[in-house]
Amino acid sequence: MENIEKTLFDISEAVKAFDKEKTAKLVRVLVEKEVEPKKIIRDGLIIGIDYVIGKFKTLEYFLPQLIYASEAVQSGIDVLLENLDSDSRKELIKGKVVIGTTRGDIHDVGKNIFSTLLTASGYEVIDLGIDKSIDDFIDRAEDVGADIIAISCLMTTSLAQLKELVQDLKRLNVRNKYKVIVGGGAVQREFAEEIGADGYALEASDGVELCRKILESKEV
């Protein structure tokens, strides 16, 4: 048991050091010892990425370090997934999130940070990229069976599209299939509530917590 705890600690340290190869190697050691995948994620990978996120919030680390750490986490998750059957894989993935920016909005820094944090936290992220129509979001969500549609918007001229998304989901009778969350510099909480979105987050890390809460409530 002591060796397992030491390996979990080493995994968190490898993530902090942005070491993909070492992270994957250590995760494989615990897989061979039949340690529960959720424990490896919770007590190893997440501890490491949470440390890096904390440094990112205090501006001690920047986007490249966040991405490197997330890639290390992903390398560990990949090892876990390749050793699980399809049912166990589905159980390990917390949810599917379709994300992108609205038509006419080419700002993607915030979206990319959010996408990175979601992936590192165990979500399957389908990143549409920038400058996407409402139909793009809905069609992709339908294709992949998404749980959440997340839209980033930094242009006030694109705000109307957020309202349009919610309205179109209702018109197509699929509003209850997806949770809609919005964020970005142009969006305020009052606007999100006004259009009937399921959640709003200003910071990327807050968005990850929002997804967790939304999906937990969806299971009830």
One-letter identity of residue 45: L
pLDDT single digits (tens) 22-54: 999 999 999 999 999 889 988 999 899 989 988
The pairing of strands 148-152 and 124-132 is unpaired
Domain termination site, one of 91, 111, 131? 91
Q: How far apart are CA 165 and CA 175, in angstroms?
A: 10
Q: Given a cut of 70, is residue 122 above it in pLDDT?
A: yes
DSSP string, 82-102: HTS-HHHHHHHS--EEEEEEE
Q: pLDDT category, 1, cuts 50, 70, 90?
A: low
Q: Are residues 37 and 99 in the same domain?
A: no
Q: What pLDDT is attached to residue 185? A: 83
Domain termination site, one of 56, 91, 126? 91
Rounded mean pLDDT, 93-109: 88
Q: Are residues 138 and 36 in the same domain?
A: no
Percent above pLDDT 70 for the chain: 98
81, two tokens: 């997934």
Q: How far apart are CA 42 and CA 96, in angstroms?
A: 19
Q: Are residues 102 and 80 in the same domain?
A: no
Q: Are residues 82 and 125 in the same domain?
A: no
Q: Given a cut of 60, is residue 219 above it in pLDDT?
A: no
Q: What pLDDT is attached to residue 220? A: 40
Q: pLDDT category, 218, cuts 50, 70, 90?
A: low
Please give the residue range of the domain that contains residue 214: 94-219
Q: Are residues 72 and 98 in the same domain?
A: no
Domain termination site, one of 57, 91, 125? 91
Query: Residue 31 CB: number of other CB atoms within 10 A?
Result: 17
Q: Given a cut of 60, is residue 177 above it in pLDDT?
A: yes
Q: State how many domains the chain has.
A: 2
Q: Are residues 105 and 211 in the same domain?
A: yes
Q: pLDDT category, 211, cuts 50, 70, 90?
A: very high
Q: Are residues 58 and 99 in the same domain?
A: no
Q: Are residues 81 and 150 in the same domain?
A: no
Q: How far is CA 104 from the centre of its chain?
A: 23
Pick the closest to residue 151 from 199, 190, 116, 194 (CA basis).
Answer: 199
Q: Are residues 98 and 184 in the same domain?
A: yes
Q: Are residues 106 and 159 in the same domain?
A: yes
Rounded mean pLDDT, 179-199: 93
One-letter identity of residue 220: V
Rounded mean pLDDT, 139-160: 92
Q: What are phi and psi of 33, to 5 degrees?
A: -90, 5
65, two tokens: 């370090």
Percent above pLDDT 90 for the chain: 57
Q: What are phi and psi of 135, to 5 degrees?
A: -60, -35
The CATH number of residue 195's host domain is: 3.40.50.280
pLDDT single digits (tens) 56-99: 889 999 888 988 998 899 899 889 988 887 777 777 788 999 99
